[in-house]
Structure 1
Amino acid sequence: MTTAPAPTLILWDIDRTLLYVGDFDRQVYREAFADVVGRPAAVFPARGTGMTMPLAIQGFLRDNGVAEEDIADFTRRMIEQLPTRLSGHRAAIRERGILMPGAVEALRAVHEHPDLIPTVVTGNLRSSALIKLTTLGLDRFLDAALGGYSSDDPHRPALVAIAQRNAHRRHGAVFTRANTVIIGDSLEDVRTGIEGGARVIGVASGTTTPEQLTRAGADIVLPGLKDVPGLMAAIASGGA
């Protein structure tokens, strides 16, 4: 009797891997900060770090001189506002947002492969992630319900296990490092895979260089997503 091959869970990062919304994330941070704190922010988070949104907001508040005793409450209040504020920029994101080169073709190839299960693991809140994906038309290539989001856990490596459990409940297979792959552009994506239990395909489409991704421990590093056969071969390679 022939045993069907075990499926592979593909965990896509979103920002700078699949799409780029420019300064809209910073804009909603700016709007929420002014509303919650009562004054404009002067310092903003670094771009392209891959940090989860709750941790980025905590650092944002501290960098702007918010008292430590107010951090937890202000973080909660800002998080409550961010998806609604981002949704208010949908039309501008649709007009000015960017699909990373090769993203649609790569997503389609993974989506259509019978042994691959595509979802996301991202530092975005679930609602914010879905706003970005739906606004730029990428949600059709992903089973977003299986994903791991910073609204599930602010510790990004923990999101791998969340997605693996979700996929197990849906598909019945057991997902481990052997059949889970993260595709992302940042050092946080690499750390997430190493600590969370997934192989990592680094994509040098963001602010992190191929050399940095390699030194951080990515199993395979690609210059981008335009070489779809190369990406599919990397997924199938088992990290060798």
Structure 2
Amino acid sequence: MILVLWDIDRTLLYTGDIDRRVYKETFISVVGRPPTALPARGTGVTMPMAVRELLRVNDVPEQKVEALAARIVAELPERLAAYREFLARDGNIMPGAVDALAAVQQAEHLIPTVVTGNLRGSAETKLAALGLICYLDTTIGGYASDDPHRPALVRIAQNRAATKHGGRFNRNNTVIVGDSLEDVRTGQEGGARVIAVASGTTAEEQLRAAGADHVLTDLTATKDLLRLIEQVQAP
């Protein structure tokens, strides 16, 4: 068996500035004033880390950061869920994503789930709104709500997959499919091979230089993706 860990944003789907809108609303709710700066787009950092940076760049006193960050993180999934109709209407599925997801799901020896910087509630809202959640076993994924340190999410997903399916999962039978430098780092430090997809804000050359095992332009070449996933177990 091979565990396939899908990234979500800019790999499978794109929801524009909705996350930044939710960050802004929640910051105002918790801090009591509007932020003057918002998290950078497309970096792949986990939501809890992005929230801490959001507080710091908006001059929140350091001694208040952790407590306020916890309150913001707790609110984010529910606030995003309020935008589900907006996500369904204006969100975009990345080119080739549906066929790629379906092909992985249909292969009996491949186990599809997610490793994402999203909180679990946020991840499931996005995937459900755009009709992609049916291709993934989200119960065994790794989420920022499990650990803000993204590489740690690989082991969390591997352990959950082992509990459900038996066997052991490690670098030799686990692959991340993602678009960012954080996805590459997550695989390198967390224990997974990485198939990078240059569908986000990071160029193919940067993904290769960062150490991705393979790089694709997008997900439209389904056969190539499946072939590269199979190579995870190659000597």
TM category, shorter: over 0.9
Runs of 5+ unmatched residues, structure 1? 1-6
- State yes or no: 1:13 paired with 2:7: yes
Q: Which residues in structure 2 correspond to 1:12-161 (within 5 Å)?
A: 12-161=6-155
State the partner residue of 1:3. none
C-alpha distance in 1 between matches for 2:233 and 2:44: 22
User: Shift of the alpha carbon at 1:185?
Assistant: 0.1
User: Shift of the alpha carbon at 1:173?
Assistant: 1.2
Among candidates 163, 180, 193, match of residue 187 of structure 2: 193
Task: Report if the CA contact (8 A) 1:199-1:239 is conserved.
Answer: no
State the partner residue of 1:227. 221
**Identical pairs, percent:** 58
Deviation track 1:46-94 (CA, whole Å, cap 9, x = no partner) reads: 1000000000000011001110011011101101111111011111111
Deviation track 1:185-235 (CA, whole Å, cap 9, x = no partner) reads: 000000000000000000000000000000000000000000000101111
**What number of residue pairs does the alignment pair up?**
234
Task: Report if the CA contact (8 A) 2:174-2:232 is conserved.
Answer: no
C-alpha distance in 2 between matches for 1:207 and 1:218: 15
C-alpha distance in 2 between matches for 1:238 and 1:170: 21
State the partner residue of 2:211. 217
C-alpha distance in 1 between matches for 2:192 and 2:231: 14
C-alpha distance in 1 between matches for 2:147 and 2:153: 7
Measured at CA, do residues 192 and 90 of structure 1 come closer, stay the same or move farther in structure 2, by a change above 3 Å?
same
Task: Report if the CA contact (8 A) 1:58-1:75 is conserved.
Answer: yes
User: Shift of the alpha carbon at 1:134?
Assistant: 0.6
Q: Match for 2:150: what amino acid?
A: R
User: Shift of the alpha carbon at 1:147?
Assistant: 0.2
C-alpha distance in 2 between matches for 1:239 and 1:46: 35
User: Shift of the alpha carbon at 1:239?
Assistant: 7.8
Q: Match for 2:113: what amino acid?
A: T
Q: TM-score, normalised by structure 2?
A: 0.98
Deviation track 1:8-30 (CA, whole Å, cap 9, x = no partner) reads: 00000000000011111001100
User: Shift of the alpha carbon at 1:161?
Assistant: 0.2
Deviation track 1:118-168 (CA, whole Å, cap 9, x = no partner) reads: 000000000000000111110100000000000000000000000000000
